Amino acid sequence: MRYLAIIVSLFILSAQTVAGQSAKHAGGKFYLGALGGLNATAIFFQNNYGQTEMDYVVPVGFSGGVTMHYRLTPKSHLIVEASYHQMGQKHDDHFKQMDFYKDINLSYVAIPILYKLILNKNTTAYEDWASRSKPKWYLLAGIQPSFLISADIRYEVEGNQTDFISFITEGGNPNLEEILANGQPEDDADLYNQTDISFIGAAGFHTNIQPSVVGFVEVRGGFSLLDINAEAWQLPGPSGTYNWSRNLMIGFQVGLV
């Protein structure tokens, strides 16, 4: 929770900062602001460590942080952000004549590095208020290094909370020897790699809501380029093969710069 409090504080600080950006929006290059949003998240393929794969339930997570824009040209910006992201996946299924439920909650601090291309024609560095207040559509793409700061997973069998090993070995597991050799994770985060890199893409629009403040709304999605599972827990599934697990997300972002 302290990480979330830090991000919220940065969001408030940035929202206060944008009020003093009039000189910059009159033709400067640097813009500091804040953004936040809600995202549908998933982990695909799932890693159930040899246990039967389970049905997916899509959770919703919050993201928010600070954003810095550097104007390369009137129609293109370089963007660097520092943000907090809630990722994860829920599974709910019935097999082996039992009900199984798993709720994975992962928290990351991310540093997206993005390129923004404005699509409107005749965009100039200095525009009158009537032009600046009209929506300007854009595309955005880049990479997002992320760092896992916490993981919390809830396991239930027949409605009763249980531990990791009991959950994945209930009714038998072909990877039992490897699982017992690894032992019970001291922290749920031990199941995952501590770093991730994602591809990010977005489409949206921005407009001046005041001479010194630009608001934006976008649809943003992303997926991991790396396997998020820790090496010790990269165990084959029921088919005998192992597949990477990747974070996926898509949602809405709003912000001010």
pLDDT in tens, 70-122: 999 989 999 999 999 999 999 999 999 999 999 999 999 999 999 999 998 76
| Contact present, 123 and 96 (Cβ < 8 Å) | no
pLDDT, residue 6, reads 53
HSE (side-chain half, CA atoms, 13 Å) at 92: 5
- The amino acid present at 68, given as its one-letter code, is M
Q: Per residue in 38-59, is it b (16+ CB within 10 Å) or e — as a string?
A: ebebbbeebbbbbbbebeeeeb
pLDDT, residue 74, reads 87
* pLDDT above 70: percentage of residues in the chain: 85
**Residue 131 buriedness (CB in 10 A; 0-12 / 13-18 / 19+):** middle
Residue 214 to residue 42: CA distance in whole angstroms = 31
Distance from the Cα of residue 250 to its chain's centroid = 8
pTM above 0.85?
Answer: yes
**Residue 250: its H or E element:** strand 246-256
The CATH-assigned architecture of domain 2-256 is Beta Barrel (2.40)
Residue 46 to residue 244: CA distance in whole angstroms = 8
Instruction: Give domain limits for the chain.
Output: 2-256
